[in-house]
Chains A and B, each alone.
Chain A
């Protein structure tokens, strides 16, 4: 069985942790989290904590850049970089 795409794992995690009233598959890879889903700073914090728990990565304080949290695709790219950095270390 193929491994789940990181984007899809992130969408599931967001729906669960943010109590979004939609299905993960209804969220596009390029859906804007803040503008389209109404994600606010409280929810972004929940996403950060969720990513750390689900993927086992740690985000440093000076890495908090909104460009990494615009869409599921940008969040997934960020996670991939963190995983590569962790696994390559």
Chain B
């Protein structure tokens, strides 16, 4: 257990966002802002974030992890959040981290949608010395299509058959009609449009020299191809996908592995 964690609120758009600052055990040689993934993936990945932050502290890296508006313990309505408002939250949290560590180089670390938000935030905050993207969403439209397919599989498991098709759901969202519950989290038409419009390649010009992508368990040809084109570093960590495996609870050893193999090499790449 770490007694040095400091819990407080960050203000963003008039909302209080819960944040946890993890100081480095010694003088911070780097500071990292951690951006969590979407919906249920955040819940699954929570412990991995905690253990990673604590392991990073032992390696001289301070961190700030926080809940985006409408998520976790933060104020706000998940159904009213947009990508733009979440980027505003990242910017606010970044400002707090900068206040805490006025002299240390700072970087962004995100998982899944959090990685893509971190990538997008490179346009708005600065200077960013390192960007570490854990299994980022490369193409928002393809990601949403996959998520809707996962929803249909859930329906099949609970009812025997999937009762609808993705194109029907997508047409309704594109017309602005209703919302879709993804593991209980509302995917609104506004969020659907926002995520569909996200393309990691759009952000590459704003990336710092130290930018890297980390995959979990096995390599995806799609991400490999993207990393080659974007000329960013690529790593792979021998852990299950921490954002979907609620039965895998990372302990300190997993946190240490994540820190050593999925964060630190990307901070020291220069």
Residues in chain B within 8 A of chain A (CB atoms): 149-150, 152-158, 160-162, 164-167, 240, 244-245, 248
Residue from the set A41, A44, A62 with the largest chain B CB neighbour count within 10 Å: A41
In angstroms, how far is the closest chain B Cβ from the Cβ of A16? Answer: 8
Beta-carbon contact of B165 and A61 below 8 Å: yes
Instruction: Tell which of A34, A40, A64, A67 touches B162, judged by Cβ atoms closer than 8 Å.
Output: A64
- 26 A-B residue pairs with Cβ-Cβ distance under 8 Å, sorted by A, are A19-B240, A19-B248, A34-B157, A40-B157, A41-B150, A41-B153, A41-B157, A41-B158, A44-B156, A45-B150, A45-B154, A48-B153, A61-B162, A61-B164, A61-B165, A61-B167, A62-B162, A62-B165, A64-B152, A64-B153, A64-B161, A65-B156, A66-B156, A66-B160, A66-B161, A69-B156
Residues in A neighbouring B149, C-beta threshold 8 A: 45, 48, 61
Residues of A within 8 A of B (CB): 19, 34, 40-42, 44-45, 48, 61-62, 64-67, 69
Q: Which of A19, A40, A42, A64 contacts B156 (CB 8 A)?
A: A64
B161 engages A19 (CB within 8 Å): no
In the bound assembly, the distance between CA atoms of A65 and B157 in angstroms comes to 8
Q: Which residues of B contact A64 (CB under 8 A)?
A: 152-153, 155-156, 161-162
Distance in angstroms between the alpha carbons of A40 and B245 in the assembled complex: 11
With A44-B153, A45-B150, A61-B166 already in contact, the answer to whether A19 and B160 are too (CB < 8 A) is: no
